[in-house]
A and B are shown apart, each in its own frame.
Chain A
């Protein structure tokens, strides 16, 4: 018997802000209700829940709501659920849900990512971040040298790219400039002020070559995508978007032992699963928690040769909203907020349904790529409107 395909049906998103006071479970509820309404589903029809990375008890702002908790809180009768951090990357939670519906474990799975990092800083008594006396696990190879932030780890890859291939700051700037320009057309975006090349070049350095504008900002929000089985689409009232391929490969699970980030294995592996090719892609939504990660996805997925990412985006025309390959049309994480991976799939679906409003790309987009992750984390989804 042929396995049913997996589709994204309803999508939803809470308010996006900083230091929000609405409870993170209620932000999640807001996004769930929106997604259910769009799909024409009721909570009683939901039988699966999937999230990344699960409730993060040591650093609650990073992930204040878990899959277990959502099942219980919303009265979901789940036949399948998961909330693992040890998965390809953030969008691996959507890929896992796709596998669940394709194998008959569930019919309609709520996939969610709730972030509360800005609120947690404002209210540490409610959302503590426990800093232990010692560091362990992979952190022990970075924190003792004060390489505290992922910015420091990504910077090593970015600096080497500049040294090896001649990537310039002016080229890299196009990620942030495009993100911020697109965010101006997204009423929900967190950062809605223009950014100029002069401002970018004059910005203070965080850790070379990454400046302030190369980094996303702590954000409070919840994003929901409902993954539905192909044989359950008669229950769905919105245009389903097919998950045409998905990949999440890694060769070394390490931020410093690997020559290449996991995206460079994931990209080629995505195309092995589909007859689509890069030429078919109408828009790309690439993870940009740090700008360089987005640039690397262009190379990793074969939109340009490895090392040519800087040339590919130079000047920004090609990846602009009205360019040949519109990129991060909602503003990415740099512009729309640190939604942590799920925002890229949310926007891909929005564009493929023609619901982008002021930021809707021209033509009749049918195929999009959404990615998440950096370093040893990488997940890519190829999404298609049939």
Chain B
């Protein structure tokens, strides 16, 4: 079942296509170093417009998660895990994503995870797998 497709624009293209070169990217302010997510052309900390996408390590930690049992549309396979991942190296940035590659029961708070990209058309969906 194909995933819902984000509409690409100048703000979000680096994020949704970074997986083509294996990069998980977030906007970062070149003046104060803050990361900005969702991607916008302004730093919410210092109001600088000197911001640009930057690759992070692609690892993170599960801050919270839910095992989704409800099929929200016909054909959606359940159960699956939706998690809020704290992104390593980008303080304050979280990504809602899926934890894949393991049984849903194997997911827990504080688990270390690493990004894995799932391509569908132009979009590279950043999903996460447990490490170790």
Contact = CB atoms under 8 A, between A and B. Distances in A.
Interface of A: 133-136, 138-149, 151-153, 155-157, 159-160, 163, 204-210, 254-257
- Interface SS of chain B: helix, strand, loop or mixed? strand
Given A146-B98, A207-B82, A256-B84, A152 B6 contact: no
B97 interface: yes
Interface string B23-51: 00000000000000110000000000000
B72 A146 contact: yes
Interface residues of B, number: 35
A151 B68 CA distance: 9
Given A148-B4, A206-B69, 20 more contacts: A133-B5, A135-B4, A140-B6, A140-B12, A141-B38, A141-B96, A142-B96, A144-B3, A144-B4, A147-B82, A152-B66, A152-B82, A155-B82, A156-B82, A160-B63, A206-B70, A207-B66, A255-B96, A256-B95, A257-B92
Given A135-B4, A136-B7, A149-B72, A144 B82 contact: no
Contacts of B5: 133-135, 144
Given A156-B65, A156-B84, A207-B82, A136 B6 contact: yes
Contacts, number: 106
Contacts of A138: 38
- Complex A-B, nearest 7 residue pairs according to Cβ-Cβ distance, in ascending order: A134-B7, A155-B66, A148-B72, A140-B6, A160-B64, A143-B4, A207-B68
Nearest to A142: B96
B123 interface: yes
A151 B6 contact: no
A133 B6 CA distance: 9
A139 B125 CA distance: 14
